[in-house]
Amino acid sequence: MLTKTKIYLSSPHMGGTEQDYVNEAFQTNWIAPLGPNVNGFENDIESYVGNDKKVAVLSSGTASIHIALELLGVSKGDEVLCQSFTFSASANPILYQGATPVFIDSESDTWNMSPELLEKAINDRIENYKKPKAIIAVHLYGMPYKAKEINAIADRYNIPVIEDSAEALGSTYFNKSCGTLSTLGILSFNGNKIITTSGGGALITPDEDTKNRAVFLSTQARDNAPHYQHSTVGFNYRMSNVLAGIGRGQMAVIDDRVEARRRNYEFYKKQLSTYSNIEFLEEPEGFFSNRWLTCILTDSFETREKIRLTLLEDDIESRPLWKPMHMQPVFKDAIHFSNGTSEDLFNRGLCLPSGSNLSQYDLDRILAIISKIPNL
Ligand SMILES: *Cc1c(COP(=O)(O)O)cnc(C)c1O
């Protein structure tokens, strides 16, 4: 019997030149959290995202959110408004700072933070003498959030926005790169993301001074002295020069990666739109998604599970959409402003295999399995 290989949800996809940069790091002995690949990778990202931003590459997306909160002065007792429909890493750094997350549900056009609920939450917290210190909004699955509306509210109440663009490198909003739409943005290069350094992240900052401050905090906050002197608590969050080498190779193929992910989405949409109980999230006018993961919305939890389990039997990985943070045991006591949207998406939605390295053979195999499901 022919054994079929496992199809993953989203697996690393090397471009070919990564190893040259890594070898160079070895040959020159820059095996450290600094060196030419770190600077080179930062330059590559700066050119790619544009908008005059300065980028600091760090050890993870999570670390980047942590440093962003630190830069904004979020500390013990503060409240931070965070999109509920996301991966837990968007919210965990709020707790690292001793601050309190308040979760905001989504709207149905982009599945991201509802501007309406955001404003409601801000007013409620102000009435309770707890003006939020920051907002964390997320471009989930690569789909930009409604930045114009979110930024307008944030500006009106003078609250800074951290843009969690971990899943959205290559996405744009009215031709501006996701990650550059507010004061601070973050990226992730974890193994499952659109490009990867195995593990890694970046903080996108408005200017050189902010970047330097982020690097200072991420490299143990050493004061300018011949001995080791510290006046601030530091972190060990800088990206290694070896991993930044992988990042340089990956940046050379980012456009291909976005194209391949979008092709997956188009394939699934064309082939599965014929089913009356499967829907796709469309891009609103001016929104461009990298389609990091192709998500389908079925008519019920039962249909969702039927598809997921049938794929699993054939060793094909799919995954329910993110379980909202306000439903997570770890955040059970958190205040939340919900409208049922993210809970419904979690119940009925499924991420299909979406790697940029899927072959047509893989895609056809996935489709064949789904089309054999009875009563779909
Ligand atoms: C992956 C991810 C993160 C965290 O990035 P890491 O590099 O894995 O720490 C944060 N937010 C979202 C939405 C993510 O998908």
286 CA from centroid of ligand 1 (Å): 25
CB 30 within 8 A of CB 237: no
Residue 142, ligand 1, Cβ within 6 A: no
174: helix, strand or coil: coil
CA of 167: how far to CAs of 78, 144, 193, in Å?
27, 10, 6
83 CA from centroid of ligand 1 (Å): 13
46 CA from centroid of ligand 1 (Å): 20
Residue 87, ligand 1, Cβ within 6 A: yes
Starting from the edge strand earliest in sequence, which strands make up the sheet with 278-280, in order? 278-280, 294-298, 349-352, 319-320
DSSP letters for 322-366:
PPPGGGSGGGTTSEEE--SHHHHHHHHEEEEP--TT--HHHHHHH
Q: Residue 32: what pLDDT?
A: 93
335 CA from centroid of ligand 1 (Å): 22
331 CA from centroid of ligand 1 (Å): 18
Residue 167, ligand 1, Cβ within 6 A: yes
The atom number, within ligand 1, closest to the CA of 192 reads 1
DSSP, res 115 = H
Residue 89, ligand 1, Cβ within 6 A: yes
The atom number, within ligand 1, closest to the CA of 140 reads 13
Nearest residue to 121 via CA among 181, 88, 80, 72:
80
Whole-prediction pTM value? Answer: 0.97
Residue 138, ligand 1, Cβ within 6 A: yes
200: helix, strand or coil: coil
Residue 190, ligand 1, Cβ within 6 A: yes
150: helix, strand or coil: helix
Mutational pocket test of ligand 1: of 67, 88, 136, 190, the residue with most ligand atoms within 8 Å of the beta carbon: 190
5 CA from centroid of ligand 1 (Å): 27
How far is it, in rounded angstroms, from Cα 297 to Cα 299?
A: 7
The number of residues in the chain equals 376
Which residue's C-alpha comes closest to atom 11 of ligand 1? 90
**pLDDT tens digit string along 249-278?**
999 999 999 999 999 999 999 999 999 999
Mutational pocket test of ligand 1: of 10, 57, 90, the residue with most ligand atoms within 8 Å of the beta carbon: 90
Residue 210, ligand 1, Cβ within 6 A: no
CA of 211: how far to CAs of 68, 71, 299, in Å?
10, 10, 46
With left for phi above 0 and alpha for psi between -120 and 50, is residue 141 left, alpha or beta? left
- Dihedral sign (CA 51, 54, 60, 61): negative
Residue 62, ligand 1, Cβ within 6 A: yes
Which residue's C-alpha comes closest to atom 6 of ligand 1? 61
Phi, psi of 14 (to 5 degrees): -75, 150
How far is it, in rounded angstroms, from Cα 173 to Cα 161?
A: 16
Mean pLDDT per block of 10 residues along the chain (376 residues) reads 83 96 96 95 98 98 98 98 98 98 98 98 97 98 98 98 98 98 97 98 98 98 95 97 98 98 98 96 98 98 98 98 98 97 98 98 97 91
Q: Residue 46: is it exposed, middle or buried by C-beta count within 10 angstroms (0-12/13-18/19+)? A: middle
Q: Residue 4: what pLDDT?
A: 78
Q: Residue 3: is it exposed, middle or buried by C-beta count within 10 angstroms (0-12/13-18/19+)? A: exposed
Residue 60, ligand 1, Cβ within 6 A: yes
The atom number, within ligand 1, closest to the CA of 201 reads 7
Mutational pocket test of ligand 1: of 141, 164, 292, the residue with most ligand atoms within 8 Å of the beta carbon: 164
Residue 201, ligand 1, Cβ within 6 A: yes
How far is it, in rounded angstroms, from Cα 326 to Cα 83?
A: 10
Q: Residue 375: what pLDDT?
A: 86
189 CA from centroid of ligand 1 (Å): 8
6 CA from centroid of ligand 1 (Å): 24
